[in-house]
Amino acid sequence: MVARRTRRRGGAPIQKQPQPAATRALPPPPPPKATRVDLHTSTPPRAIPAQPQHQPPPQHQPPPQQHRPAAAPQYSQRPKPSRPAAAPMKSKRTTVYTALAIVAAAVVGIMFASMISDKSGGGNGNGNNNAGANTSSQQTSDPQATSSAPRAAGKAGTWTAAPEAPDQEALLRDYFATAPKSPSDAWQMTNPKFQGNSQGGYAGYEQFWKSIQKAELVSAQYDGNFFWRTEVKYTKKDGTTSIEPKGFSIKWSSPTMLIETESSLGAARSG
């Protein structure tokens, strides 16, 4: 600052006090920015992981019980069975009764059909056990009733009553008509005794009949007691013929009638 001197009028100069120089007013400084003050400035803060807090395991809690009203006694709560409940039992009984009725009707029908067949079988001569029994009972009172003894089908010689002479002769004629064509079928018309006495068994029997073209019963005489005297004419396949006297015994054991023995009654002669 420069001190200016002034003079007083009529006196010593008056020294003016120095005045401060005019200064430019500065605007106030801006307020400082807010900063975070860390207490520990030496090391940066370390993030500490959150430690899980140990919690006791959850205890199993029973489900909340629902408060139900007290049940009424069983005898008062159980409904009484209604009438329709007995329907299945009634239905089962009805089914059983129906089945029994059907079975009974079937049995009656079978018995009725059997009675009818028995009556018709006795009239037409087709043999069955009942018809045979009736014929056997009639045989004791009427000797001629046995002549109509029914014969079963087939050439095995099965009969339902004691066969008479015409029936036995028919068996012999069937035997000689069958043997040249089918020795096996003729073999079935003989019983075990005949087959055991046959030379060479069935093989020898078959070999003999394969050499025969035709065999026929020329004559047959019944001596009684199922024995027959016969003459049989054999025609061989080479054309030669011969007539041989033979005896045959027949065995009847109800219901079968078979040839039991064959025997030679003399020398053969040319036919």
Tell me the domains of the chain and their CATH numbers.
Answer: 154-266 (3.10.450.50)
- 214 CB burial (10 A radius; 0-12, 13-18, 19+): middle
The CA-atom distances, in angstroms, between 33 and each of 27, 29, 36, 37, 39 are 17, 12, 10, 12, 18
Residue with structure tokens 């089914």?
95
Residue type, 174: D
What is the Cα–Cα distance from 81 to 47, expressed in whole angstroms?
A: 79
**Does residue 226 contact residue 157 with C-beta atoms inside 8 Å?**
no
pTM: 0.44
Instruction: Find residue 15's DSSP bridge partners.
Output: 5
* 250 beta partners: 259
What is the model's pLDDT at position 180?
A: 96
3-state SS assignment for residue 122: helix
Q: Which helix (H) or strand (E) holds 204?
A: helix 201-210
Q: Please tell me the distance from the alpha carbon of residue 231 to that of residue 243, in angstroms, as a whole number.
A: 6
- What does each of the 271 residues of the chain score in pLDDT, given as a tens digit? 444 444 444 455 555 555 545 455 566 666 656 555 554 445 555 655 555 555 555 555 555 555 555 555 555 455 555 555 555 566 677 787 888 888 888 877 787 777 776 554 444 444 344 433 343 333 433 433 333 344 433 445 566 788 899 999 999 999 999 999 999 999 999 999 999 999 999 999 999 999 999 999 999 999 999 999 999 999 999 999 999 999 999 998 888 899 999 999 999 998 7
**Integer Cα distance of 71 and 123 in angstroms:** 83
